[in-house]
Structure 1
């Protein structure tokens, strides 16, 4: 582990219950971040999605990937203290359900950066099995 939850909060503005990263495993500022989310039955979405069979909402998986991208982007000194906002989500595909007890590995790699606007290629896996892949566009303000 490179960064724990407290250190992540020093980089991105997200806070509980919406901070979806538990650890950062790899970080190349401005280029790449690999993080983890330990999915637990205490997560805020579990009681309502779905009561009989909890499944992590796909939009929250994409949000977790975006937060990993924000860690990479906002680790660059010129963006310290800023916020990365969604600009778009492209080609999101969900390949497996993510449930309490799973550890979600989140990988976001910056593929383009033009001024404060960037694009990240993202994938989320559980035990090496692809759960989600997408491309995100973001703007730093």
Structure 2
């Protein structure tokens, strides 16, 4: 299986989260985009490094990634989707070198449930499925799955995305 996946002419292995989000380490929580379906959804992936700063105090001797970090991953995936939609990207090379993403805002979290803990060395997949727009806000059904272990968290998130 090739690492290049095409969806409506888009090579997702060339989409770099840092080109679309204003976040930078340590708050850039998305490693790579693995699927983008224009008008429908985005799926991203992140490897949870054992030395991530969140494990230092949550909890010593029993590190668990805080749930709020999983929610932030969901918001960042929504930001990637929204910016790709706003830029009307058909070809990743069309993302201009001088494009500077503006920050968006997390607006609302609904029905969030946390099912399994995310641990060091886990790989997680974040999926955000566009549900609807309400004024300038976009509503997504989002989830985080742990590779090989199942659902970590899911809920509905509302964002304001500044393209």
Mark the runs of 5 or more structure 2 residues left unpaired by the alignment.
Answer: 4-11, 89-98
- Structure 1 counterpart of 2:27: 18
When normalised by structure 1's length, the TM-score is: 0.90
- Higher-Rg structure is 2
Q: CA RMSD of the aligned region, Å?
A: 1.9
Structure 1's 128 and 100: CA in aligned 2 closer, same or farther, altered over 3 A?
A: closer
Residue 83 of structure 1, CA deviation: 2.8
Please give the alpha-carbon distance, in whole angstroms, between the structure 1 residues aligned to 2:39 and 2:23.
19
- Structure 2 counterpart of 1:138: 159
Mark the runs of 5 or more structure 1 residues left unpaired by the alignment.
Answer: none
Please give the alpha-carbon distance, in whole angstroms, between the structure 2 residues aligned to 1:139 and 1:131.
24
The answer (yes or no) to whether the contact 2:16–2:33 under 8 Å persists in 1 is no
Aligned residue among 26, 29, 37 for 1:28: 37
The answer (yes or no) to whether the contact 2:49–2:121 under 8 Å persists in 1 is yes
Q: Which has the higher strand share?
A: 1
Q: Which moved more, 1:14-23 or 1:106-115?
A: 106-115
Q: Deviations over 1:15-53 (max 9, x none)?
A: 100000011100124431101110111211111111111
Please give the alpha-carbon distance, in whole angstroms, between the structure 2 residues aligned to 1:72 and 1:30.
9
- Structure 1 counterpart of 2:91: none
Indicate yes or no: 2:67 matched with 1:58: yes
- Structure 1 counterpart of 2:82: 73
- What is the aligned length? 140
Residue 118 of structure 1, CA deviation: 0.7
Residue 101 of structure 1, CA deviation: 1.1
